[in-house]
Amino acid sequence: MREECGIFGIWKHPEQDACVATGEHDALSAARLTYLGLFALQHRGQESAGITSLQEGKLKTIKGMGLVSEVFSTQNIETFPGTAAIGHVRYSTTGSSILENAQPISVTYAGGQLSAAHNGNLVNTDLLREILERQGAVFQTTSDSEVIIQTIVSHTASCDLYQGIIRAISSIKGAYALILLTNNELIGIRDEFGFRPLCIGKLNNSFVLASESCALDIIGAEYIREVEPGEIVIINNSGITSQKPAKQPERYKQCVFEYIYFARPDSKVFGKSVYDVRKQSGRYLAKESPVSADVIIPIPDSGVSAALGYAEACGIKYELGLIRNHYVGRTFINPKQSIREFGVSMKLNPVREIIADKRVLLVDDSIVRGTTCKKIIKMIRNAGAKEVHLRISSPPIKHSCFYGVDTPDPAELIASTHSLEEIRDFIGVDSLSYLSIENLLSAASSSIENDRFCTACFDGAYPILQG
């Protein structure tokens, strides 16, 4: 399971478009704040990064392949003025990993310039692309994000941008958290199900939009609230306005996997602390699946918060028995299986003094193919563990995601093709349990809100189908 993308936008910082031109560096330009925001969102995508800045009424973009720190140098970011900007970090889920597909994507149309940063995946991209191409649209990229922007532009032939957005939304199906920058405003949009997160913050007089609140924290902005599913927020020099295009039933299906793995634990997403949800999942897991063990060890970093919750609930000693090498970097972003397998021992190393002769309980967030997990278990056994038990703080992943998360085909998902006992045998543990969907949802929300989350990768209940 791979993160999707991270998006960020800020309007009106500093007040004057003069940061570089006048040498006044005390107020950071919108682009420099966006750079910091993308830096905080780097975990959501490492293939490409880009920023579009509004400079003296015109949109200008810098983007490239690689990490934020590789695409932006001190030189190019410090000479990139502007009072508004949007930014994007990408992991490709539709369209290949090439510079043309890097975002933000910009177009010039009859109404001016429009730039977009998109997180999510449409389920009717092919159909929309075909319709647009028949109308004469020429695509520069293979990404569904360009399909969104072209769909919006095609609807502005007979109306203004806002009406064009509303008309486009009625034909776009799928998952999208979207930040648009025009010559006059910053616009944030979430699809009606709210699959992907987007929050609003404030930095002095400037409004900020970001995938996760950690991107607000890094620039010192205050968290205000989430953009609601189906909501369009328009931010301009008059302030912020919010619209929901039509009266629609609340059909929230926010991605519960944001809580399990994607989002940073120090973030708030969908209005709730990710750390709190993970820790509560661990407490529930301890109640559902107790085990006699001498020590609880998290598989870092994803299992840390749940392991803390598990240890708190059952009173077994918590230790950091696996140490992660934080300098391995993008070795693990290479999708080739051979490198991924080689990478496990480069990434994690056991602390023998904690593990030897102990009954070890490992806690992790999920099992996808099971191959990485098997290697970690072998590592723990080689370090002298007497018994190895594994507890997973989410339900078994049996289905692929169509909403902006890169998942293997079901044939490669071990829980789709193997029984619990077969998985236990394959990865080589003495016992194995997963958290139930019911308790995952209880950890993520209050009981009356349990239907506000997508759980399709666990139960196959897809809120919208492809096509």
39 binds ligand SF4 (CB under 6 A): no
Closer to ligand SF4 by CB, 310 or 402: give it.
402
Q: How far is the CB of 467 from ligand SF4 (least distance, A)?
A: 17
Applying CB under 6 A, among 161, 255, 316, 464 the residue interacting with ligand SF4 is 255
- Minimum CB separation of residue 193 from ligand SF4 in Å reads 9
**Residue 456 in contact with ligand SF4, rule: CB under 6 A:** yes
Shortest separation between residue 459's beta carbon and ligand SF4, angstroms: 9
The CA distance from 362 to 356, in Å, is 14
Nearer to ligand SF4, 195 or 275 (CB): 195
- Residue 457 touching ligand SF4 (CB under 6 A): yes
Identity of the residue, 207 or 453, whose beta carbon is nearer to ligand SF4 in the bound complex: 453
Closest CA to 93 of 256, 262, 232: 262
Site for ligand SF4 in 184-203 (CB under 6 A): 195
Residue 207 CB, shortest distance to ligand SF4, in Å, is 27
Near ligand SF4 by CB under 6 A: residue from 115, 182, 206, 455: 455
Longest dimension (CA), the chain: 74
**CA distances in angstroms from 232 to 44, 190, 198, 208, 243, listed in the order given:** 23, 7, 11, 14, 5
CA–CA separation, 144 and 122 (whole Å): 7
314 catalytic residue (yes or no):
no
Contact between 318 and ligand SF4 (CB under 6 A)? no
- Residues within window 372-411 making contact with ligand SF4, judged by CB under 6 A: 401, 403, 405
Q: Where are the alpha helices (DSSP H) in 177-227?
A: 214-217
- Measure the CA–CA gap between 231 and 284, rounded to whole angstroms: 33
Task: Please tell me whether residue 72 binds ligand SF4 under the rule CB under 6 A.
Answer: no
CB atoms within 10 A of CB 273: 18
In whole angstroms, the minimum distance from the beta carbon of 353 to ligand SF4 comes to 38
- What's the chain's length in residues? 467
Tell me, by CB under 6 A, how many residues bind ligand SF4: 11
Token readout for 143 is: 């990404």
Residue of 5, 199, 255, 314 marked catalytic: 5
Q: Is residue 368 part of the contact set for ligand SF4 (CB under 6 A)?
A: no
Candidates 198-206, 293-301, 376-384, 449-457: pick the segment binding ligand SF4 (CB under 6 A). 449-457
Please, are residues 45 and 89 in contact by the beta-carbon 8 Å criterion? yes
The only residue of 256, 299, 316, 437 in contact with ligand SF4, by rule CB under 6 A: 256
Question: Which CB atom, from 252 or from 284, has the smaller least distance to ligand SF4?
Answer: 252
| Contacts by residues 312-315 (CB-CB < 8 Å, ≥ 24 positions apart) | 312/279, 312/282, 312/283, 313/282, 313/283, 313/286, 313/287, 314/286, 314/290
Beta bridge partners of 190: 177
**Nearest Cα to Cα of residue 190 among 142, 238, 248, 150:** 248
Q: Which two tokens stand for residue 203?
A: 């930095």
Q: Does 454 bind ligand SF4 (CB under 6 A)?
A: yes
Cβ 113 to ligand SF4, closest distance in Å? 32
In the numeric block, which tokens belong to residue 61? Answer: 């973009």
Give the residue from 79, 85, 80 showing the smallest Cα distance to 11: 85
Q: Least Å distance between CB 326 and ligand SF4? A: 26
User: Active-site residue numbers?
Assistant: 5
Interface residues toward ligand SF4, by CB under 6 A: 195, 255-257, 401, 403, 405, 454-457
